[in-house]
Amino acid sequence: MHIKDLFSSLFTYTPDDKQTYNFNLIEDPNTKAYTDSNLGKEGNDKTKIFPSLTVNLDYLKSKYNLLINSDIIFREFVLNARGKQYNALLIFIDGMINTEIMNEFILEPLMMRNKNNLYEGSQNRVISEAVANNITVRKVKKFNLPNFISSCLIPQNAIKQVSTFEDSISGINSGNCALFVDTLNLAFDIEVKGFQQRGIEKPSNEIVIKGPHEAFVENIRTNTSLIRRFVNNENLVIENLSVGNITKTKCGVCYISGLANEDLIAEVKFRMNNLDVDSLLSAGQLEQLISDSSNLNIPQLISSERPDKAASYLLDGRVIILVNGSPYALITPGILSDFLSSPDDKNQKTLFSDFTKIIRLIAAFITLLLPGLYVAITSFHHEILPTELLFSILASRANVPFPIIFELLVLEISFELIREAGLRVPSPIGPTIGIVGALVMGQAAVSAGIVSPILIIIVAITATASFAIPDYAFGFHLRVYRFVFIFLGYLCGFLGIALGFFVYMIAMCDSKSFGVPYTIGISPLEHVKGTSYYLPPIWKREYRPGFLNSRKETKQGHISMKWKNR
Amino acid sequence: MENSKISAAEAISIVFGIFVTYTLVALPKSMLESTKTATLINIIYVGIIALFITFLIYKLLIKFPGDDIVDIAEYLGGKPLKVFIGIIFIFYFLFSSSILLRNFCECLKIVYYPMTSLIFIILAFLIAICVTLHHRFSSIAKVNLLIIPLVVISIIFLFIANIENFSFDNIFPIFGDGLFNTFITGLGNLGAFGGITLLYFLPPYLKEPQKMKKVYLTSVILGTIYIILCVSIILFMFVSLMYTNQIMPLYSAARHIEFGNFFQRLESIFLLIWILQMVCYLCIISKISMSTFKKITNIRDEKPMIFVFALLIFAISLLPKNYAISKFIEDYIYHYMVIIVSIFLGVFLLILAYLKKRKKKELNTNHEQSI
Amino acid sequence: MNNLFKKIFIALLIVMLLLAFSKSYSTLNIDNLSVVVAMGIDVSDKNNLAISFQFTNPSSVSESGTSEQSPSIIYTVDASSISSGINLINTYIGKSINLSHCKVITFSEEFAIQGISDEIYTLINDTQIRPSTNIVISKTSARYYLEQSKPLFENLITKYYEVFSASSSYTGFTSNATIGDFFDSLICHSCEPYAILGGVTNNSTEYTGTTNSENDSSTKSNASSLSGQSTAENTGLAVFKDDALIGELNSIETLCFSIIRNNVDGFLVSVPNPNKANSYIDLHVTPLISPKVKVNIINGTPYIQLDCTFTGRIYSIESGADYLDANMLTQISNSCNSYLESILTKYLYKTSKALNSDINGFGKSARKNFLTLEQFYDYNWREKYKDSFFKVDVDSSIRSSSLLTES
């Protein structure tokens, strides 16, 4: 290396060959790159299937982008029916079908290979014959190829004849296969689903002690089978609706006809049929799309992953909505008492379940109001505290530099951070981080003199109480609104909390869920049949909830335990 | 509002709530001031009279099913009388609730917020009212049904917890200031039954009009019993000179509660419950005033008037220059307002309308007979 | 745009309310308070009051809970009234004073003789003072009494203040006089106020108290035979006429007061032994029902009948005595009856003749004799009380003993 090279490398100009990779999706956000495509806006026009196979094939090739789509399979073959051969086409999506079923029960019976399909006679069958004046008149029954294929040739359990492309395409998309035959202007939609899915497991978020331990899965057919096994009655109706212009997600509306109120069923179907969304991917989205509006963001539909809970609500007269691809069922309507009750309440003795209901009510109040009340009491109303408690609070706060409101907000927000982080930490250390994080952080903060120990206790009790709420959405709602009450308590003490609580109650009493007032049955002075916050003993549960207006009022005889009277 | 119907239990609790709210501030004190130790006898006597009046009102209102007093005024005297009566009642409602709010906020200021100006305490109440008035009347009635048992339980708790501080001899001498004072001058205590005013406006709201008799009579009986309870707490706990000089006697009674060494000075919790009841009462009164206003002016929707009514309450409550004037108004003038407006004027109107209706019926039957 | 205006308006409202309420917040927030646990009021020269405030340092209550006593700090200030005294202390200390946890208010004896109604009115009207605050009249200066109030078995002096009057329910030698009751009695036309009598024991064992009987239950504060660490004691009652102190009751008289007021759950008395002279039997007596008081106005003077019903158990035994004999029990009952009647009568005549102060509240029962308040006020019960006649009936049934052995 010469010094000359060194100098030249230092001081000569070398243009920057490397260019930074610069990819912009859109130059100017105000100008659109494309005009809106027509995807999802097909509307109600349906294209009829053509009799010619080649035309059908071309149509489908363009629809499915066959040249670039890798898992759409087109299988052309020759169909042998009663001695005659037709060209046929089978379309399916690789990975979604069960190939054994397709080979054994569709291709084999239809191809020439099947010796049972041989026939030598005439295609048309003579029914009757009459001779008059040397003219023979024969009544002939023409050979109906579609009926022959579907009723005699294909031994598959579910087969449907469709006449529009849209129906056959929706069948192919959900895992069936479509059979097109030359000269027929209809297609066959044959059930051959065989995709992988998660097996039935224990519920992960709604754990009970005495009830069954099965939970819903993603496939709607499995879920409906779980419900059917509980209800065990032919009056259980599961209607099919599809929501979403692009995804056309299958949703099932379940109710027991003869029990559920007709207006409720009509309202549910009306709301679901009048949604203009491109896609629907989960039950949570559907819940937000069909809920009544509420200022409070309270959950107005119950979502549950337990089939026994869904079945018990069905038998009360409610309507269940299942969404394909989501393991949660939506139960309408949902009132306040439902969000504070657990599916285990009916499995246990009334005394125990009423006791736990009282605990849950206390937990709801603590989650919502305890931090706010603490701030209010220490800021304005400290005379309530016993003198010794006041002294321990003062002593523990002696070295803390922050005012109470700031301490409380810091602790609450860090607790929410820990909670959120605990969801994302990989599972072996997940629970440990939650507990260790909270304890260590709390203890370290107290030792450093940043927060006072009394406040740690308050925040810990609040957090524990929030975990005692059975419904996740309702618990979330309480967690968010406690910040409002903290602020009100800081602002003007008990006056702020009382006024805030009043407005909160008014907003809650004003909300409705599918036509039912949200707080029905809460007040002990207003008696609605079959509805109350506390469960009566089992022999008293004669009536279905009155607010559902179901078509059968009683669900138990007046004396349900007839064996006692013998 | 039009479609908000309330059930029988909610109607009873609304009317009862008016009795409750006034006793929270200074009603027991003014009653004790006028009839001293004979107040309990006096309340029973006045309660029976009020029950008769309620029964009379019920009997007259039942002839006009589904109509409240403004509609009956229209039937009686046409539009001018309807507007006149409507304005009187709206003024009565706004004035009495503003003065009550002012007195309550003065007490709150003395106890809790000595450094804050009174305007802001009243403003806090009004913000809450403005927000809740956008909701329906039936949800306010539902919340009232939830709050009333709380208040009643708090008063019963106050009674029971203070039993050791009671001296039941305070009821002697039994006739207080004399028979004349108890029974004749003591008729002024009819002003405690301000809840009767609401009975004129209830019929359009009832979901089950056939239960009207039960609603009306139960609410007045419950109100009487409740007033007896409140007055007895104060009568037994304090001596005569003391209860005439307190700003909020029930609050002072709550200060004496003591359970052992650690449950002392629980009066803040009582005030929390009483604030709930006060704001609930204000919402109900404002709602009824607004719907009356809508009736007399034929506007389509009364929602834009929410701010106007709230500002009116705010302004009227700040009218008295100092606390002495507003206390005087509540102690003395309010009683006579109740007696004149709700008892005399209302019953008088109803009787006139009933006579007119009967006359019309007679004319009709005479007309038919002559045909 | 509408939405934006709405949001700005709401934000403005919140800021306004924050500013308005923050002044009260800074006054009442616990971080800015120093907590007074007791107050004392003395006479100072120039017609002023010497007000003492007793604080305790809450930092001494640490997390681990130490076993050392928290020291109490006393500040005294000379002022013309209680409110100006509080003002002066506020400027001196820095944190604002809060009286919500004040447990004891002490007046010195010389101050109480002059009349304390002004101070009582000021204190009772203060929103922070609890009506259940004990009121003590101290035989020494109030400041000295506060200094000597050292808790024996508790760490915090507030705990001591909370329980020191609890002995009234099982001995009857003191009472739980509160400022609320004092004020009620002060303005009521039918009774007179009373307060706890406090003092400081001397280190010497010399007995300087006056004796009414042979047994040693006639002590009162500042004159008792208690010896121990120099500490405050509360035995006896201070009797007021209107708002001025006019007399004191010793322990046995306070016991009679507690019996009549039904403040005592059970008490010990030594009654003369019916069989042996100069010997006493200790009984534990429990009231069965509250004493019945009947007041009749005969020829303008009150005639007061008092009926007490007790049940009792023998508490101590002499050797060789058999107390479970039915005859014996009846004799002991009779002896107890006569003893209690004598002390009650003596006490009642002391209140009426010597002190002319109806601290027992007989005036409330007297009201039954009048039909209207005006008649009662015209009668002027407070002055007529000194002419009253009393009749005391005690019925005590000694059921059995609390002894494990018969004799």
Minimal-distance CA residue of chain B relative to A510: B139
Q: Are residues C270 and C245 in the same domain?
A: no
CB proximity list for C70: less than 8 A, separation 6 or greater: C56, C57, C58, C60, C61, C155, C156, C157
Q: Are residues A157 and A284 in the same domain?
A: no
- The owner of tokens 């309870």 is B229
Average pLDDT over all residues of chain B: 89
Q: Are residues A395 and A316 in the same domain?
A: no
Chain B residues near residue C188 by CB distance under 8 angstroms? 239-241
Q: Are residues A157 and A245 in the same domain?
A: no
* pLDDT-based confidence at residue B174 (cuts at 50, 70, 90): confident
- Please indicate whether, in this complex, the C-beta atoms of A453 and C63 are within 8 angstroms of each other: yes
Minimal-distance CA residue of chain C relative to B260: C162
Task: Flag whether C20 is in a domain.
Answer: no
- Please indicate whether, in this complex, the C-beta atoms of A494 and B265 are within 8 angstroms of each other: no
CB proximity list for C105: less than 8 A, separation 6 or greater: C38, C39, C40, C41, C123, C129, C133, C134, C135, C136, C179
Q: What is the distance of C-alpha A227 from the center of its chain?
A: 15
Q: Are residues C293 and C210 in the same domain?
A: no
Q: Shortest Cα distance from A503 to chain B (angstroms)? A: 6
Going by the DSSP 8-state scheme, the letter that residue B338 receives in this structure is I
The predicted structure's pLDDT at residue C202: 66
DSSP assignment of A57-117 equals HHHHHHHTTTTT-SSEEEEEEEEEETTEEEEEEEEEETTTB-HHHHIIIIIHHHSTT-GGG
The predicted structure's pLDDT at residue C204: 43
CB proximity list for A239: less than 8 A, separation 6 or greater: A252, A253, A254, A269
Task: Flag whether C13 is in a domain.
Answer: no
Task: Flag whether A204 is in a domain.
Answer: no
Q: Are residues C222 and C315 in the same domain?
A: no
* pLDDT-based confidence at residue A397 (cuts at 50, 70, 90): confident
Task: Flag whether A566 is in a domain.
Answer: no
Task: Report the number of distinct structural domains present in chain C.
Answer: 2
Q: Are residues C392 and C279 in the same domain?
A: yes
Q: Are residues A366 and A488 in the same domain?
A: yes
Average pLDDT over residues A155-173: 90
Q: Shortest Cα distance from A297 to chain C (angstroms)? A: 19
* pLDDT-based confidence at residue A123 (cuts at 50, 70, 90): low
Determine how many CB atoms are found less than 10 A away from the CB of residue C240.
26
Interface of A with B (CB under 8 A): 377, 380-381, 383-384, 386, 388-389, 492-503, 505-507, 509-510, 517, 519, 522-526
* pLDDT-based confidence at residue B25 (cuts at 50, 70, 90): confident
Q: Are C251 and C235 in contact (CB under 8 A)?
A: yes
Nearest Cβ partner for C31 among A383, A391, A397:
A397
Higher pLDDT, C30 or A45: C30
For CA atoms C177, C179, C184, C189, the dihedral sign is positive
Q: Shortest Cα distance from C205 to chain B (angstroms)? A: 34
Q: Are residues C78 and C213 in the same domain?
A: yes
Average pLDDT over residues B221-231: 93
Domain boundary among C252, C279, C295: C252
Average pLDDT over residues B342-362: 91
Q: Are B158 and B250 in contact (CB under 8 A)?
A: yes
Q: Are residues A266 and A409 in the same domain?
A: no
- Please indicate whether, in this complex, the C-beta atoms of A498 and B131 are within 8 angstroms of each other: no
* pLDDT-based confidence at residue A31 (cuts at 50, 70, 90): confident
Minimal-distance CA residue of chain B relative to C185: B239
- Please indicate whether, in this complex, the C-beta atoms of A391 and C156 are within 8 angstroms of each other: yes
Task: Flag whether C334 is in a domain.
Answer: yes
pLDDT, tens digit (0-9, with 9 covering 90-100), for C88-140? 988 888 788 888 889 899 999 889 998 888 899 999 888 888 888 999 998 88
Q: Are residues C339 and C371 in the same domain?
A: yes
Q: Are A530 and A543 in contact (CB under 8 A)?
A: yes
Q: Are residues A327 and A390 in the same domain?
A: no
Q: Are B109 and B116 in contact (CB under 8 A)?
A: yes
The tokens describing A426, both together, are 């990989």
Half-sphere exposure of C289 (CA within 13 A, CB side): 6
Q: Which residues pair with A85 in a beta bridge?
A: A80
Residue A485: domain span = 350-517
* pLDDT-based confidence at residue A306 (cuts at 50, 70, 90): very high
The tokens describing C41, both together, are 């009021």
User: Is the predicted pLDDT of residue C207 greater than 60, yes or no?
Assistant: no
Q: Are residues A265 and A172 in the same domain?
A: no
Task: Flag whether A539 is in a domain.
Answer: no
Nearest Cβ partner for C30 among A378, A453, A491:
A378
Q: Are residues C215 and C304 in the same domain?
A: no
Task: Report the number of distinct structural domains present in chain A.
Answer: 3
**Nearest Cα to Cα of residue C305 among C218, C355, C357, C368:** C368
Task: Flag whether A271 is in a domain.
Answer: yes
Q: Are residues A70 and A147 in the same domain?
A: yes
The predicted structure's pLDDT at residue C206: 38
Distance CA A184, CA A150 (A): 13
Does the domain at residues B8-370 carry the CATH identifier 1.20.1740.10? yes
Q: Are residues A460 and A395 in the same domain?
A: yes
pLDDT, tens digit (0-9, with 9 covering 90-100), for A348-394? 899 999 999 999 999 999 999 999 999 999 989 888 888 888 888 88
Q: Are residues A419 and A482 in the same domain?
A: yes
Distance CA C364, CA C277 (A): 41
Q: Are residues C288 and C235 in the same domain?
A: no
% of residues, chain C, pLDDT over 70 = 86
* pLDDT-based confidence at residue A122 (cuts at 50, 70, 90): low
Task: Flag whether A562 is in a domain.
Answer: no
Is residue A402 less than 8 Å (CB to CB) from chain C? no
DSSP assignment of A459-508 equals HHHHHHHHHT-S-HHHHHHHHHHHHHHHHHHHHHHHHHHHHHHHHHHHHH
Q: Does ipTM come in above 0.90?
A: yes
Distance CA B52, CA B47 (A): 9
Q: Are residues C357 and C272 in the same domain?
A: yes
User: Which of B130, B146, B270 should we substitute to test contact with A (largest number of A Cβ atoms within 10 Å)?
Assistant: B146
Q: Are A518 and A508 in contact (CB under 8 A)?
A: yes
Domain boundary among A150, A170, A190: A190
Nearest Cβ partner for C18 among A394, A395, A491:
A491
Chain B residues near residue A493 by CB distance under 8 angstroms? 112
- Please indicate whether, in this complex, the C-beta atoms of B146 and A496 are within 8 angstroms of each other: no
pLDDT, tens digit (0-9, with 9 covering 90-100), for C186-206? 888 788 999 998 888 764 433
The predicted structure's pLDDT at residue A287: 93
The predicted structure's pLDDT at residue C205: 37
pLDDT, tens digit (0-9, with 9 covering 90-100), for B234-281? 888 887 766 667 788 888 888 888 877 667 778 889 999 999 999 999
CB proximity list for A397: less than 8 A, separation 6 or greater: A404, A452, A454, C30, C31
CB proximity list for A270: less than 8 A, separation 6 or greater: none
Q: Are residues A491 and A393 in the same domain?
A: yes
The predicted structure's pLDDT at residue C211: 37
Distance CA A385, CA A395 (A): 14
pLDDT, tens digit (0-9, with 9 covering 90-100), for B288-325? 999 999 999 988 888 889 999 999 999 999 999 988 89
Q: Shortest Cα distance from B4 to chain C (angstroms)? A: 28
Residue C377: domain span = 266-407
The predicted structure's pLDDT at residue B3: 65
CATH of the domain at C357: 3.30.300.210
Nearest Cβ partner for B256 among C132, C365, C376:
C132
Q: Are residues C71 and C186 in the same domain?
A: yes
Q: Are residues C43 and C175 in the same domain?
A: yes
Distance CA C106, CA C91 (A): 23
* pLDDT-based confidence at residue A81 (cuts at 50, 70, 90): confident
- The owner of tokens 């321990």 is A392
Q: Shortest Cα distance from C25 to chain B (angstroms)? A: 8
Q: Are residues C298 and C176 in the same domain?
A: no
The predicted structure's pLDDT at residue C60: 60
Is residue C58 less than 8 Å (CB to CB) from chain A? yes
- Please indicate whether, in this complex, the C-beta atoms of C130 and B240 are within 8 angstroms of each other: no
Q: Which of A128-142, A226-240, A319-333, C291-305 has the lowest mean pLDDT?
A: A128-142
Distance CA B243, CA A15 (A): 97
- Please indicate whether, in this complex, the C-beta atoms of A502 and B13 are within 8 angstroms of each other: no
Q: Are residues A175 and A229 in the same domain?
A: no
User: Which of A503, A522, A531 should we substitute to test contact with B (largest number of B Cβ atoms within 10 Å)?
Assistant: A503
The predicted structure's pLDDT at residue A9: 82
Average pLDDT over residues A489-501: 93
- Please indicate whether, in this complex, the C-beta atoms of B242 and C16 are within 8 angstroms of each other: no
Question: Which chains are within 8 Å of A by 3+ CB pairs?
Answer: B, C
pLDDT, tens digit (0-9, with 9 covering 90-100), for B73-108? 998 888 999 999 999 999 999 999 999 999 999 999
